[in-house]
Every structure is written in C-alpha cells, then in structure tokens.
Structure 1
Amino acid sequence: MRFTPAFLDEVRDRIPIADIIGRRVTFDRKKSNQAKGDFWACCPFHGEKSPSFHCENSKGRYHCFGCGVSGDHFRFLTELDGLSFPEAVERLADEAGVPMPAVDPQAAERAKEKATLHDVMQLAVDFFRQQLQEAGGAKARAYLRDRGLSTSVQNEFGLGYAPSSRSALKEYLASKDVPKDQIEACGLVVHGPDIPVSYDRFRDRIMFPILDARSRPIAFGGRALSADVPAKYLNSPETELFSKSNVLYNYAKARKAVPRDGNLLVCEGYMDVIALHAAGIENAVAPLGTALTEQQLGLAWKVGPKPVLCFDGDEAGIRAASRSMDLILPTLTDEKSAQFVNLPSGLDPDDYVKKRGAQSFKTLITHAMPSSDFLISRRLFNAPIGKPEEKLAIERAILADVYSIEDKGMQHHLRMYVRTHLANVFYNSDSKLPPAPSLVSEFQNQPATRDAIILGLAVHHPSVLYEFYESIGEIAMVDDRYQTFCHELLRLSDEFDDLDVAKIYKLLSEDFHDVLEEVHGKPFEVALTQHYTYSGMMGHNLKKRFPMWSPDMPLRLVHEVFQLLLDQYVIGRLELELKTYDSATDVALHLRKIEIFHQMKDDNAQKDLELDVEIRAFHGRQQFG
C-alpha cells in the first residue's frame, strides 16, 4: 500500500517522537530538556552506559552518535520491533486517530476477504482449544503433560486438539454460519473435484496455531497422536493467508523478547520453541517442517544481524547447518551473518534443557560458532587432511564458498582468514616437533569437562574448599546439576571444618549421588577377612577425565592444579567482557583489560607447562622409586 507524504506527515505531527521512543528507553534527566522537546538516552539499538542517543520533537527524528542509527517515528518501530512499514504506519495512525487512506476497490475487497479468513481461523483456534479440555482430549493432555508443558504454557501458545472425527470442525464452523468456500480457503478441510464430501484435514492431532507477524492465526501444525499415520507432523496447505516459506513459528512473540543487541534463536521444531520458552528462553523460532528459506532468514535478520541457528549434533544436523550456510553465503556481510550451535548427538533443544538445564543451554548459545568459523569447520568435518591432495581439495572447496559471496570486502577478509586458519590446522598438526606437553590447557575449550574435574578434585581433596572458597563460589558452571552440587560442597565446608572424601560421601544426600559418581566415582568394598571390609573411594571417574591426577598426589600439587583451573574461569570471563566491548567503553580501560587478558593467558600456559613437568616427575618417582 502506498502512502502520500501528506498523510505520513499528519501522523508524525500528531504524535511527538519522544512519546514513542520514551516507551522503550529512560531519558536522561540531566542532558534532556523536556520544555524544548529535546531528549537524550542510552541507545536502544546498542549497549552503552552513557547516553548518546538523541531525539528531538520539533524535527521528528532520532540519531545515535554511538552506533549511527537514525530515523523517524516509523523507522523506529520497523527497526526495533521488526514491523513492516505498512504495519508501523497502521499502528501509529490508529494511535494518532488519523484514518487510513482509502485503497482501490479491488485491494479493499482482498483485504476484507483476508480479514474474514483470519476470523475463520480464530474460530478454528477456539474450537481446537476447547476440544483439548473435553473428554476426548485426555490423551492429548497427557502427552503435553509428559512433555513438561504446563497449562499456562499451553494457553500462551493456544495449543489444542483436533478430534478424530472427519467432520467435527467442519460442522462447528457451519454452525457459526461460516460459508463452505471460506472453510476451504483456510485449508481446514480436504476438498477437490474427486472428493464428493470434504472432510477435516486435521484429525486426532495436537494442534499448534501458526501466527503471522501481527499475532493473527494463519495456519496450523498438527502433531499426530497415533503411530500408524503417514505424517507425524502435518501443516496447513498454502493459502491466501499462509505461505510456509515466508513464516517462522513464534516470530511475533520471539522478536519482542529479543534483548537489546540480541538475535533470534532458530530451532528445528515447534516443541523445541515451546520447551525453550517454558525454560525462560523466549527468543526461539522455527521453520515449518522444511529447511530454512531465504525469506525466513530475512525475517530473522530484521530482528538482529546474527541469528543463532541451532541444530542436532548428528550428521543430519551438520548437513542441515551446512544447507543454511549455503543460503547465507551470497549475501554474507558484517550486518547479515549467523551463528551456529550443534547440540550433542541425540539431543534436541527440548531434550537438552530437560537433561542439562536452561543455564547450560544459554552457555552453548553464548559460545555459538560464527559463520566465518563454520564455513571452515563444515568442510573439515570427518574429512581426511593427511595428504597434500586432501588439503588442496578442502582449501579449494572453502575458497569456492568464499568467492560466492557478493560483498567484495567480506570476500577479501575471509580469504585471508581462511588461509591463516587452514595453515594452522594443516601444518601445526603436521609439525615434526612434538606437541608441547599440556596439563590442563586443553580444558579451556572444554568447560563441562573442566567443571567435572574441579568438582572431582574438591570431593577427593576437600581442603581446596577451604583454601579457594570465594573463587569456587564465583564459578558459573555449564550444567545446572554441577552448579547445584558445587553449592552443596561449599555448604558442607561451611558446616564442617574436618571434611575428607569419606565424610563427603557420607554427608551427601541421595539427590547428589548421580553427580558424585559422575565427577568422582562409585565407592567399592573389598573383603579383607570374614568380618572386615575396606571401603574405597579412589575417584576412578576423576582419573578417567584427568589421567595426570592420582589419589596420592601431594596436596601442594593438587592446590596448584586447582588454582590453574580456577584461573581459566577468570580468563574466560575476561575474554567474554572483551567480546562485548562497545564504543562507550573507556578506551584506556579496554586496552588495559586486553593486556591483562594476554598476560594471564601466557602465565597460565607457562604454569601449565611447569606443573606438567613436575607431576610427570612425581609419577616417575612413584613408578621407579
């Protein structure tokens, strides 16, 4: 729809721009001059601590002197809320009390028809929701309960149940005087010249309403409850309202939940999205049973420049991620990119959150792989790289990907990055020099393993709980179970000043036994005589993860290893701070942090080498002395 400049000016004139922006930011009282309609705030488009975002009522414009964004009333809504331009105009015109301009009769008729179809779809949503609460919906309610979805979550997403009858919905809509052609136009029944009597498309399925960007129902996804149906999931057909390649499930909710400077999280299915939402991760969306499309990617980019694409960690997941990378490549720029997360094999987001917790999942997202790295890693996945011919084939494949990028600047920098990265992968691993010994450096990039080792050492050598109490309390572990176990160990050290490994085993409740076995080991008993047994707690699982450790290691060495591991957490936190640097940060302080970061990494690596030598010498003395 086209709008005249006079109409747009009238809408702008009716609403001060500060009224719109003030709903999303807090204006700085010292810098702002309310009487003049001149306002300053921290920018809603990028993180900053001092206000550099300016808006002026007299001009009806805003500008950020930090990140450079600028625009008017409508641009603010399209950029921050992800609305289309017509949607932004309609919303503000309604607020301003300005009638929308008349459209040509044919367009008006089409709009009226679509509005009517939305009404029909809403009737279907209401019908399915009611059926979920009836006796016939018991099996569906049980399924949703078993999946851990509370009633409030079911209501929030409008979940329902389609009964097994071939005509239940059709008859309900007819009772509401909905014409047959409208029911058919919504895709709610199967019909055609070869079908004498149309019948309900969705039967004996849990129903997921699919909404458009304005939260209006446009289609359904149905999950079969019976195992003997051809399609486990069934979507509505293409209709006047619905084109599945142009829609992301939960887009309307998710884009509002994206934090400042954030991005959408793209998963593979409805249940992943709903399970993540229930766990407090509300920015998730999903394509509708197909691979991610160019149009869906465009929707994600409207919200943020680097959506996180989350896939299963098996080969099928790698292939799906790779297809998405191919889709991104031609238009890849610094403002249109993506991040990739491959979950452990056999786990989808729903499973992962249930087994490892929401915080662990958030940590995975924080460490998502950027496009530049995934571009390389997908070609290296399971590929032989021993021979020169194999190296050349991989390099050519990656560079062919790079040359498909239209942005020449991005091409240039990626070519340099790829060659540097491949040289490191190909030739550092082929070096004739033996690799430097490493005691704990490898765990810097294995946070879950490092967490388990920290806990295992604390169980076997509780003195570290007293020595490093405050530092242990600051650790953020990737697994919620580990975090809770860590807090329990600290609580025990508060209550008892004579902890040893046997006492910890005795004091820990059954709730912690699984984690205890996981990070340390299962106790065993050896019969010495008929009446006496020896109970052993030798930490065999700790030993598996950390072969350089032994139960009889001198306590001094244990403490030094523990300190080395704790330093890795500090280095990781500092690295994250440096990655979130913005233009409002004090430059001198930022440079000092960079210096400290590199110094700590160097010191940690040097201490790692020294301890490695000392512990190997200890094991040598044990073996031969």
Structure 2
Amino acid sequence: MGGAVVSVPPAAIERRWESLIPDALIDEIRARVDVVAVIGRHMELKRSGRTWKGNCVFHGEKTPSFHVYPEDKHFKCYGCGEHGDVFTFLQKLEGKEFPEVVRALALEVGVEIPEAAEEDSAEQRARRKERNEIHSANDAGARYFAARLGSRFGDPARAYLAGRGVSEDSIRRFRLGVAADAWNDLPRRLAEKGIGLEALKKAGLVIEREKDGGTYDRFRNRLMFPIAGMDGQVIGFGGRALGDEKGAKYLNTPETPLYKKSRVLYGLDLARETIRKTRQALLVEGYFDVIGLHQAGITNAVAVCGTALTPEHVELLGRCDCREVTILFDGDAAGLAAPAKAAQALFPAGLAGKVAVLPSDAGKTDPDDYARAHGRAGVEALLAKAAPLSAFLIDRAIDRTCAGRPREAALEQKLAAVRELSPFVRMMPEGLARSVFEDAIAKRLDLDPAALHAELSGEKPHPPPRPEPAVARPGPAPRPARPVGGGDARMRLLLPGPAADALGILAAHPELGPVADEEGLPRLLPPGPLAELARELCRGPVAVDEALARLAAAGADEAATRRIRALTGPARPKPEEAERELRKAAVKATIEAVRGEQDRLLAEIAKRGAPVPEDLAVAAQVAARRRSDLEKRLRSLERPG
C-alpha cells in the first residue's frame, strides 16, 4: 500500500445543478473577474514582473512557485503542477461543483444567468429554492444558538465547555451554541429573521406533531455543534444533551437535501487546508475529539457523524488531495472495530490507511482527553507510531484466532485468520497493493504465498508434476516432467492467453521486470513453476531458451508456448512499444480474473437468495468497480499516442 496514489473511484453523489450555463456567459464571467483579486483572497500574492506569485495553497512549500497570469486569466503552480482558470481554482479549493462556482462569481461581477428552458426549469427552480431556504434556516439557527450561548442563558453550557477545556477561540471557530430548554422556542425567534416554519421543517430543526399538526423543537437544552459543508456553509447540526432527561446523549439533524451523514465530515471546512498541504487526514469519532485536536494544533482532524467511513467520505477527502488517512478512535470495543469498517472505503479507493491506538492503561481514553493531557507533541508522537491499516487488521485477526502466536497455531486457527482477512484482500485493487497484503499475511501466518493466493482467489492449486525416475546408466537427459492429468482443456486453463502474452513480452524485454512486478504478473499465473518463472523474470533476465524449456516442463500447452516463442522472436514488440503492450496484456489478464470472480460472486448470491448477505454485496460491488476501472484503463492504453 504505502503512499501509492490511486485515483479515487467516483461515488454516486447527487449533482447540485443540472442546468447547463451557456459557454458565452462563462467566457463573459471569466473576462470580468479579476483573477488576482479572487485568488488573492485565499493566499498572499506579490507582483513578479508580469505575473503574481505566492506559496501554493495546494501543497506545502516555503519558496513561492505558484504564479497567476492576469492577462491570460489563469494560474500555474510549478511545484505541484496544479493549473487552470479561476473556476478551477475555486472548485479545487472549496470542493464545489463547476456551476456553483460560476453562479457565485456571476453574482459578484454582475452577470445575470437566466433560468433553464421553460419545460424543465420549474422543477430545478423549486429544488434551488428549497436548498436556499434550508441554508437560510440553518445559518439563522446557528447564529441564534451562538448568541444564546454568549448570553446569560448560556452560563451552564459555557461552564460545561470550560470543564472540558474548550477555549473561547474554539467556541468561536466552531460556532458552538446552545438550544433553549423549551418546546417551541426556535420558530418564534427565527420568525423575526424572516425564517418561516416550512423552512425550519425542511431543515429538520422542528418536528411536526402527528395529532394536531403543530410543531416542536428538535433540539432542546442541548449544546449545539453546527455541521458545515466544505465551503463553510452550515448544512446541519449535532446536539449534545446538557440535562439528565431521557433520550439520546447526541442527536443529529435528520437527512435533508443538504445533510446526509454518509457524505459529511465534521470539521472538514476547517481542516481542508491542512489536509491539502500535508495530504493527510486524521479521522476521529466525535465533535469534541475534532475540537480538542484542533485546539492542540492538530488541524487535519475530521470526524464521521455517527456512521462508518463511506466511499462518499473518501471522495470528499480526495477533493482535498488527501493521500493517507489515520484512524484514531476511542480504545473501547467500538473504537477497535472502526478500522475494519474504514477499510471497506479506503482499500477499494487505494488510499493509504494507518491506525493509531490510544493507550488503555489509564482506563478509557478518547482523543480529546489525550490531546488535553499531552498536547500537540504527545499527539504527534502517538501518530508517529501508527501502524499501517493492513498490518493492524492482520494483527487483530491473529489475536482473535491464534491467541497472538501464529507460528505455533494449529492449521484450523490459521485458516480462521485467513477467512477473517479474505474480504479485506478482495477489497484491494488488483496489483501491487493486494500482492503485498497477501505476502504479509503469508509471512505472519507462516504459510506458502502461492497456496495462500490460490486460497484467497478461489483457485484450486494443481498438484506439482511428478518427475520421471532417474536413469542410472549414461544416456540422454531425462525428459521434461509430464503434467499430471494431461489434457488440452486443462492446459488452456493453466496459462490464459493475455497472461501468456505478458510473459512472452517480459522474456523478450527483461528490462521491463519492474513494470511486470507493478502489474502483478506473477499473481496472474497459476501458482507453481509458471508463477515462479514470472517472479524470476521480474527480478532479472532469464535466457529465452531456458524460459521456454521451463514452460514446457511446467506443462504449458503448445498454443501458449507458440505465442511466447513468437513474442521472443519474429513478433517481438519494438522497444518503444513494449511497455505499453505488456501493460495491456496484464490488464486484459486481470480483467479475465475479475470477470471470473464476478461470476463466482453472482452464482453465490443467486444460491443464497434474498436478502443478499452484506459481505457478498460489498464484494460484488468492489469487483464491479474494479472491473470498470480496469476496462477504462485498458481503453486508455489502447488509445494511439
């Protein structure tokens, strides 16, 4: 896994805008905008000849390499490569979609964007109106709760915050507030601000009574945590009970057109710049954890809002150019289970994951307590010892199944560990990351890597070929071993066509060993002599004649041997084309393997019937996404140029 950068697969997140803005209007807005002024709001720029330059906001740097070109209305960072126009800059910086950025700048420069065509604008206008009403209700609610906290009515809540070590600065930065201990306070207070009852209902701030159609406040006598989108606009709330009344300690806004807990990370609006510069995010569980860590100087901390990490969360982090996520949850059972849930989102996306474990010798500790007790230096020291997520999962499985002694464990215990880890292996994209994960499992459990790969991929390893008896008297050399079972059909399964092509290209161009290793070629071949030959070719050259002899000894069918012989001879790819051809062949072979895995999963799902088990559903979804990514990559490789 390491720090490999794999593109984050797009999640099914609803688009905020459907209507298209005419290109002519976009060009007019771009022409009117002062690109230096807009970008200069977010970073310090200094004139340098005909350009303006500064320290790039998209990556940490001390020597300015970010340039703004006012004549051409674009920017370019010569340090990290980011470039584009003012729309691109704001999209990447604020995590907004293109039409939203265009509309905001249009208002600023006085360009009117007409509504869409009459036949489809009514529904879109209604949806925009609803979203605007909810935004206004949330904003007014956040301001009212904050004002109440700062008044005499907020004395008990301020005392509670002081007891938890929350500073006045943190109260302001996180816009904390308090809800009145009353059933119908909010509609009356916000009506003065022009916020109607319907808007409060849509925002989830009030609940309609079933009997008489009246309403009551959702949040009563609670410390209020406004939850913002990446752009800083309040989209929902979390509330912590301050009294001893019955009910949940924490209560969140219900799902609304703006607030969906699987798509929201608390604190991301304040953490995004640090995440973008460090390319690392710290994932915690609670509101106070985020506040406490930020207050200690750990400003890349964000929290899930009462749910496990989801692919949509990972996509949000991807918009901040995050490459690594460290998980820091409470040391209780739920906290220790969190990394396994996070892996379901991180592994398919290719993001590196780490797990930092809070010490438990002083009883239950959460990140907020730890940050207060040890400060920034203590938290950074704890994070420096974080284990890779894959290693953490292996250790946890071994602790549960093998009592922490894997080498001395019985076969049944080792197999139980493999069964526990197999879903995580399949979540990883095909290639180097999965291969390294499998090798780590094999090493910790003292298992044969090839046999483990066969077990995890659902393959049945073939028995090794039986050598002919040695001849005592001088004579011709012993014949190559015959494959057990024989049969052309079996031979075709033994060495699939694309894998044979990749092996032949590698034999002809041994300098491509690192490329073949990166594509996971040894794992695309059946365990045994063929996979071992591929591993040797990845490490260094093997004479063509020797490679062909070993193919025959391993039982490769004549068709595959002819393909490889041709690729090492008359059909040998040109040096400038060889790498692309090898990658194409490896990707085709991987697609065949994934297609086989999909067929197996669909058959198992059909066998189980409804409801579909969650692990099978997740595995099928991961396989479909992986195949889609592979096919997209193959089309890119097949494109000329």
Q: Structure 1 residues 95 and 130, CA, compared in 2 at 3 Å: closer, same or farther? A: closer
For the Cα contact (< 8 Å) 1:258–1:283, is it kept in 2? yes
How far 1:63 moved relative to its partner? 4.9
Cα separation, 2, equivalents of 1:340 and 1:374: 7
Q: Structure 1 residues 340 and 396, CA, compared in 2 at 3 Å: closer, same or farther? A: same
For the Cα contact (< 8 Å) 1:301–1:307, is it kept in 2? no
1:14 equivalent to 2:23? Answer no
Query: Identity of counterpart residues, as a percentage?
Result: 37
Name the structure 2 match of 1:202: 219
Q: Structure 1 residues 97 and 316, CA, compared in 2 at 3 Å: closer, same or farther? A: same
Q: Structure 1 residues 152 and 394, CA, compared in 2 at 3 Å: closer, same or farther? A: same
Cα separation, 1, equivalents of 2:398 and 2:109: 57
Cα separation, 1, equivalents of 2:53 and 2:166: 43
Partner secondary structure for residue 339 of structure 1:
strand
1:356 equivalent to 2:374? Answer yes
For the Cα contact (< 8 Å) 1:314–1:344, is it kept in 2? no
Q: Summarize the alignment of residues 244-263 of structure 1 with structure 2, pairs less than 5 Å apart.
A: 244-258=261-275, 260-263=277-280
Cα separation, 1, equivalents of 2:391 and 2:103: 42
For the Cα contact (< 8 Å) 1:28–1:51, is it kept in 2? no
Cα separation, 2, equivalents of 1:126 and 1:56: 39
How far 1:350 moved relative to its partner? 0.7
Q: Structure 1 residues 214 and 286, CA, compared in 2 at 3 Å: closer, same or farther? A: same
Question: Pick from 344, 357, 360: which aligns with 1:326?
Answer: 344
How far 1:232 moved relative to its partner? 0.4
Name the structure 2 match of 1:418: 437
How far 1:248 moved relative to its partner? 1.7
How far 1:66 moved relative to its partner? 5.5
Name the structure 2 match of 1:163: 180
Q: Summarize the alignment of residues 123-522 of structure 1 with structure 2, pairs less than 5 Å apart.
A: 123-174=140-191, 176=193, 178-194=195-211, 197-258=214-275, 260-303=277-320, 304-332=322-350, 336-345=351-360, 346-384=364-402, 385=406, 386-389=408-411, 390-395=413-418, 397-405=420-428, 407-408=429-430, 412-427=431-446
Partner secondary structure for residue 234 of structure 1:
strand
Q: Which has the higher contact order (CA 8 A, sep 6+)?
A: 2
Name the structure 1 match of 2:85: 72
Q: Summarize the alignment of residues 575-586 of structure 1 with structure 2, pairs less than 5 Å apart.
A: none
Cα separation, 2, equivalents of 1:5 and 1:226: 56
Question: Pick from 102, 115, 121: which aligns with 2:132?
Answer: 115
How far 1:6 moved relative to its partner? 2.1
Cα separation, 2, equivalents of 1:91 and 1:381: 54
For the Cα contact (< 8 Å) 2:21–2:113, is it kept in 1? no
TM-score, L = length of structure 1: 0.59
Question: Pick from 99, 108, 118: which aligns with 2:112?
Answer: 99
How far 1:67 moved relative to its partner? 4.5
Question: Amino acid of the residue matched to residue 82 of structure 1?
Answer: G
Cα separation, 2, equivalents of 1:22 and 1:132: 34
How far 1:420 moved relative to its partner? 3.8
Partner secondary structure for residue 222 of structure 1:
strand
RMSD: 3.2
Question: Amino acid of the residue matched to residue 128 of structure 1?
Answer: F
Cα separation, 1, equivalents of 2:234 and 2:53: 39
For the Cα contact (< 8 Å) 1:207–1:220, is it kept in 2? yes
For the Cα contact (< 8 Å) 2:223–2:240, is it kept in 1? yes
What residue ranges of structure 1 are gaps of 5+ in the alignment?
429-625
How far 1:99 moved relative to its partner? 3.3
Cα separation, 2, equivalents of 1:15 and 1:135: 46
How far 1:366 moved relative to its partner? 4.0
Partner secondary structure for residue 321 of structure 1:
helix
* Superimposed CA distance per residue, residues 229-263 of structure 1 (whole angstroms, 9 cap, x where no aligned partner): 22000112222332222222222222134362333
For the Cα contact (< 8 Å) 1:82–1:255, is it kept in 2? no
What residue ranges of structure 2 are gaps of 5+ in the alignment?
1-16, 448-641
Q: Structure 1 residues 6 and 130, CA, compared in 2 at 3 Å: closer, same or farther? A: same
Partner secondary structure for residue 343 of structure 1:
coil
Name the structure 2 match of 1:488: none
How far 1:223 moved relative to its partner? 0.7
Cα separation, 2, equivalents of 1:24 and 1:177: 32
Cα separation, 2, equivalents of 1:51 and 1:176: 45
